[in-house]
Amino acid sequence: MGAGKKAKNVGKNVKGKTKEATGRAVGNESLEAKGRAEQMAGDAKQTVQKAKDTLKH
């Protein structure tokens, strides 16, 4: 996986975790859900990149 894409996906996960924690702390369910969704998107993209790398080798 390209280092840039990996960093972007990890960043998306971190951003999602921050949103989720903030939403939970202030009682904002919408923000909490957005954070979880962002984490899932980052995980999915990372999985796709890993699969592409596996097929290349």
pLDDT of residue 25: 97
Model confidence pLDDT, tens digit, residues 16-56: 999 999 999 999 999 999 999 999 999 999 999 888 888 88
| Three-state DSSP class for residue 48 | helix
- Domain extents in the chain: 3-56
This prediction has a pTM of: 0.79
3-state secondary structure 1-57: CCHHHHHHHHHHHHHHHHHHHHHHHHCCHHHHHHHHHHHHHHHHHHHHHHHHHHHHC
Q: Which residue has the higher pLDDT, 2 or 45?
A: 45
pLDDT of residue 1: 54
User: What integer pLDDT is reported at residue 17 of this predicted model?
Assistant: 95
Q: Which amino acid does the sequence have at 42?
A: G
